Structure 1
């Protein structure tokens, strides 16, 4: 103990705590600024605060292009969730159950799109669609989003399968259950938290994606693309309102996904 009565370990703990809060402040301060200025009565996003208003949210709701782009984002995210979750769950279970000898190789191949920069992935997808002369539309956007969101579902479900007790399947088979029945009645209920977590995470990734969408969309804009096009004319309070809405939707989905993933990890001993 030093002259001040504090232990060196305590001082280090305080320093790490202060650094932790500084990092959080650095990460979330821009988001807080966007949210605050979305309620500012001034048309210019500068201080001092001119007063509280909901006018920018009213303009956002009255903007037909924004409503259309939001609907497009929800359509794309919805289809991405369904396809990514379905393929991710079956791929993770198939690798775990039937390809144990090549599990490492197949898992590495499944998560490879995560390692590829989104810009390179977007260019590769555009080249692929041009090769088959496919018309760019929301369908190609969905396919592009599935490519980068599918690995996350595989990772989350695979982590849950590591703690899966194979004796449950064996017991069901001993009682006469077929392969489909075992998968539907035994495996899926136990994987439910991981499946929901992966689905919510894929929704968040798809809803916010800009780079891959830029290379795979046609004439239909998603909400992030609409925000990007509006930014070319400067940051306005209406953009802050749209960004705040996006932050809330993405934040709720991300928090819920994290909750489901932690629940899946705690249930890993089943």
Structure 2
């Protein structure tokens, strides 16, 4: 074995070790939260006090937590549907049409996630307070759509880049109208991507805290409810809630990633043929 290969092996080993340290630093708090959510002891301490589901039972029996979870699910579902629709229309306009100011249009469409969430929360509170939406479920959905729609737009626009630009003109020449072409060609082509966008935007909405904290009022989402629980005495129920939220979020993201990767693999096989 040459010195170059030895050096490459050492370098690869060091990079893998550094990667492992980074991932351990990121996921250690999450792992400890999940681990101690099953701890029978009230306080987080070692040695472990034994396996128990009592904190999950306490969470599920807490009316305020159940209400927060219900609000989060309703807001996430509504935000996902509206965000995916808006993201699709925005991406399709960028894909199909050429017009003056298109770069400004796309920059504005992608802007919300780059704005600090505190500023966005204050702006949403001020605006929705004037139109009577602050503190309502509809106001929460509207605010989350602003944050989530750019994620759906980016995902759908990437998929539209793989659509043959001659397919739609060919359908038009054969007598299909624009709406028929959109319904029969573009939407089926984007089917898996639209579903992945639904899951991604639902995950973003479900986890979002700061904007919901500003405008939720009495309609607290689950992350806002968790903060309210932390402001009192520290309870091991927090670990159970955190584990449940993490499980839902990772399930949504993993499912979206699985769908997207399968679609990319299928597209690669089609190009190879």
- Tell me whether the two structures share a fold, i.e. TM-score over 0.5: yes
Q: RMSD in angstroms over aligned alpha carbons?
A: 1.8
Match of 2:56 in 1: 57
Separation of aligned partners in 1, 2:165 and 2:58: 56
8 Å CA contact 1:138–1:218 kept in 2: the answer is no
Q: Structure 1 residue 171: deviation in Å?
A: 2.5
Map residues 8-19 of structure 1 onto 2, 5 A cutoff: 8-19=7-18
8 Å CA contact 2:125–2:134 kept in 1: the answer is no
Match of 2:42 in 1: 43
Quick one: structure 1 residues 130 and 97, their matched pair in 2 at CA, closer, same or farther if it must change by over 3 Å?
Answer: same
Q: Structure 1 residue 261: deviation in Å?
A: 3.0
Map residues 67-216 of structure 1 onto 2, 5 A cutoff: 67-99=66-98, 102-216=101-215
Q: Structure 1 residue 136: deviation in Å?
A: 2.4
Size of the aligned set, in residue pairs, is 268
Q: Structure 1 residue 73: deviation in Å?
A: 0.6
8 Å CA contact 1:191–1:264 kept in 2: the answer is no
8 Å CA contact 2:134–2:216 kept in 1: the answer is no
Deviation per residue, 1:19-57 (Å, 9 max, x gap): 111111111111110000010000111111010011111
Separation of aligned partners in 1, 2:26 and 2:129: 38
Separation of aligned partners in 2, 1:8 and 1:30: 34
Quick one: structure 1 residues 135 and 252, their matched pair in 2 at CA, closer, same or farther if it must change by over 3 Å?
Answer: closer
TM-score by length of 1: 0.93
Return 5+ residue gaps in structure 1 as ranges.
Answer: none
TM-score by length of 2: 0.92
8 Å CA contact 2:144–2:205 kept in 1: the answer is yes
8 Å CA contact 1:141–1:216 kept in 2: the answer is yes
Separation of aligned partners in 1, 2:198 and 2:31: 27
8 Å CA contact 1:197–1:258 kept in 2: the answer is yes
Secondary structure of the equivalent of 1:166? coil
Separation of aligned partners in 1, 2:134 and 2:29: 38
Match of 1:218 in 2: 217
Return 5+ residue gaps in structure 2 as ranges.
Answer: none
Separation of aligned partners in 2, 1:21 and 1:226: 33
8 Å CA contact 1:96–1:103 kept in 2: the answer is no
Greater shift in the superposed pair: 126-135 or 201-210: 126-135
Separation of aligned partners in 1, 2:8 and 2:244: 43
